[in-house]
Structure 1
């Protein structure tokens, strides 16, 4: 009798924008900056990423927590919001309590039931990400937290994707990045990994770099269905 054995993979989940929503900071920002809350949250996130990219290229590393603090300082200056240090501290603390997207727990449960190895893979500092994911209730679903801080560089440096595969104990071709960030997906594909793009916003455009994700989903729970439908 022939056994139907499903193929399993290592899945590295980006954290910010994929598992948790950094733009949810607009809610606590409302009390501090009023109508600028959404713009503040978006600019803060944009600068946070920009600073990590620039530091990676310059080889002038500081960790992601530092990039987040510096991006906060930039944003309040750019939007002319002079926040007291106490409010800045509370906002940075809120970064440890970002909410997950609604389907995340069910999606991780389904993927774990398929025997895939699930890990967080992040630009964030490991201790901060563990606290964030624990507060969000999803850390128990993940076998490991793989942080680029170990290499003192940032995504999309090819070295960090190779590091994910090594930590997972899988060949790059059997290691998946799962991310809502198109630049992250392209970085993983360039390093020989497979990648799923979580296109959370229907208007989002994938960069036209002649690189395509292996699969596109609009929600994480669609990914388990996609894997279940693949030939073994």
Structure 2
């Protein structure tokens, strides 16, 4: 079964965007994954194709209507495998982790609901059992960029997409830690040299140095990851 991303958005022209280039774009053209984009405005009920309304209780901005979002979600689910999760890209969602990305990549794909305005009516999130996902502690203009990030993270893990699949095992977060530094030619650059151990040909020493770097970087930059790793 081909891994399939179905995106629900009011800006369908944003897709495939960067997903049409590099590894993801090549894999898309080779049918190693599939992309469907549904325009939420197609499910509007008026001639102006309105999808939002004023927030109950007052306040700034507008809120995407539950009935319109639900119609788009239901249509997307009709063409998806039954076990396909529906994800709402939201700053209040659970943080997207590499573990969750791996889970999604192993499945049939994902339906991605891109929010806009002040958000989406809470009732559709509850009624359609939607999982909220965040790509970081900041706010974007909408969920489209977050959807692009999530899809790219999943697609690169699909079989046959990465040029060197063995390198995936050594990346940051592969085991919950940050990746070691990389170097290449020239040997000297503006007074900085490649660490001698990497030029030694001693593979055991190189592996030891890289492991030390992984642990040092994680401890200094992401103490939260280091503490989590130690508790395993």
Using the size of structure 1 for normalisation, the TM-score is 0.32
Q: Rg larger in 1 or in 2? A: 2
The structure with the largest helix share of the pair is: 1
The structure with the largest strand share of the pair is: 2
Higher relative contact order (CA 8 A, sep 6+): 1
Using the size of structure 2 for normalisation, the TM-score is 0.32
